[in-house]
């Protein structure tokens, strides 16, 4: 991919930027061989991170397995000049693990005088924006402070990966491929840049549908490629997900962890019971006729608004609620599940749900890489750096009026 700042034909022939050549210390570029010097300060290293809920869309769209879809997408992006393609599953690992710890802490701190529960998930940017911009207090104190997978991935790429490659964060242009348009707003959210680096974690967000449209309009000759990892030359062939029907699985993972940590109960299978509708479901842990934990999943704004009404009245009976703005969850993000007339493509969504359910589940605590990153990158599980990097704060409506606000 030709650098937009460099017009010499030798530079346009390269498949890697000079930044990447400097990192790898491999053979000199054609320009260097000719004794010419390219201004590497003008170049960017292009990184794309793909959400796991986007892969079933590409698999259904191109009628291939999810692994083949991942390889085809990666190959296409590399043909455009992208240098590294990651998946965001490891970022979701951190988001879930931090949410687990926070729930247990809130459970112990909760009292009638200091109500730390219910804890409401904060991984969905549409829901978080609604909570911050419209609801404010008393809702925002209930939001989990763990950053979303997209926010964590931004730190992984712009901080950890940049350090590994001896690059400044500003030399990396980071693109997220995601199922919904709200991820674009999340990338613009104030205060997302970490104190450890001044650049935003995500520079651009493309929906799965936008990427598919680019692929359909392209006449490039594409070869499949294996997704990169944050750990050098190691390649991951196997696509995995977390235990969620259509999301990153915060509810199931936090429920299992809380059952074990708080009540020493091992939960193998999480059983969901539909309540008001299929997008409002309940999960409980019971022992000797007593309900020890009561969790819920509330998807779509109709269910969210009903939940908020009960919360404000003090009548919400749940310890934890997984909240997602899209009915049907992340797979039904409007950036990939819409038909041409703007309605939900129900047949496509059903196909994606089947594909997603067949992806092997990997619990986040089983990842050796995550444990290594806690020690090597974050200086420990509960270090100040881990708190700063993996957690966020929420604003009140009075402090954050913005032209991008949405009237829900």
Can you list the alpha helix ranges (DSSP code H) found in 63-177? Answer: 66-79, 89-109, 125-130, 149-155, 162-164
pLDDT for 396 equals: 66
Residues in a beta bridge with 343: none
pLDDT for 95 equals: 97
Question: Shortest CA distance to 75 belongs to which of 223, 239, 254?
Answer: 223
Question: Which stretches of the chain score pLDDT less than 50?
Answer: 1-40, 191, 193-195, 399-408
Contact status, residue 160 vs residue 230, Cβ threshold 8 Å: yes
In whole angstroms, give the CA distance from residue 134 to residue 396: 8
The pair of three-digit structure tokens given for residue 33, joined into one six-digit string: 């061989």
pLDDT for 3 equals: 41
Contact status, residue 7 vs residue 38, Cβ threshold 8 Å: no
User: How many of the other CB atoms lie within 10 Å of CB of 245?
Assistant: 18
pLDDT for 215 equals: 94
48: Cβ contacts below 8 Å, ≥ 6 apart: 77, 82, 84, 85, 86, 174, 175, 176, 177
Which residue is listed with tokens 């990966």?
Answer: 161
> What is the edge-to-edge ordering of all strands in the sheet holding 204-207?
84-87, 45-50, 172-178, 204-207
The pair of three-digit structure tokens given for residue 10, joined into one six-digit string: 């030798």
Q: Could you tell me the pTM of the whole model?
A: 0.85
């Amino acid at each position: 991919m030709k650098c937009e700042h460099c017009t010499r034909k030798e530079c346009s022939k390269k498949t890697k930027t000079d930044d990447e050549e400097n990192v790898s210390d491999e053979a000199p570029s054609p320009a260097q061989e000719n004794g010419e010097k390219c201004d590497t300060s003008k170049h960017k290293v292009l990184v794309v991170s793909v959400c796991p809920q986007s892969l079933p869309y590409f698999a259904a769209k191109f009628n291939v397995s999810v692994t083949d879809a991942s390889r085809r997408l990666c190959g296409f992006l590399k043909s455009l000049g992208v240098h590294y393609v990651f998946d965001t599953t490891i970022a979701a690992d951190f988001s879930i693990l931090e949410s687990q710890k926070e729930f247990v802490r809130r459970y112990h701190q909760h009292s009638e005088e200091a109500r730390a529960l219910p804890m409401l998930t904060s991984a969905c940017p549409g829901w978080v924006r609604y909570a911050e911009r419209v609801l404010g207090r008393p809702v925002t104190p209930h939001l989990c402070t763990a950053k979303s997978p997209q926010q964590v991935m931004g730190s992984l790429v712009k901080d950890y990966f940049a350090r590994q490659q001896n690059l400044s964060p500003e030399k990396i242009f980071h693109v997220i491929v995601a199922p919904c348009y709200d991820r674009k707003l999340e990338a613009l959210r104030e205060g997302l840049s970490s104190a450890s680096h001044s650049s935003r974690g995500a520079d651009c967000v493309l929906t799965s549908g936008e990427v598919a449209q680019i692929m359909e309009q392209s006449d490039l000759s594409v070869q499949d490629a294996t997704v990169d990892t944050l750990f050098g030359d190691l390649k991951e062939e196997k696509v995995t997900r977390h235990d969620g029907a259509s999301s990153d699985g915060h509810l199931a993972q936090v429920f299992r962890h809380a059952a074990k940590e708080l009540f020493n109960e091992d939960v193998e299978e999480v059983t969901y019971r539909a309540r008001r509708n299929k997008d409002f479901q309940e999960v409980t842990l019971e022992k000797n006729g007593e309900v020890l934990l009561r969790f819920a999943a509330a998807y779509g704004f109709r269910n969210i608004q009903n939940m908020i009404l009960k919360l404000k009245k003090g009548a919400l009976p749940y310890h934890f609620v997984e909240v997602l703005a899209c009915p049907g969850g992340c797979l039904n993000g409007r950036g990939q599940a819409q038909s041409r007339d703007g309605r939900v493509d129900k047949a496509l969504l059903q196909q994606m749900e089947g594909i997603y359910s067949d992806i092997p589940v990997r619990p986040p605590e089983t990842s050796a890489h995550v444990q290594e990153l806690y020690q090597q990158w974050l200086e420990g599980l509960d270090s100040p750096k881990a708190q700063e990097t993996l957690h966020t704060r929420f604003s009140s409506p009075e402090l954050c009026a913005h032209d991008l606000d949405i009237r829900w």
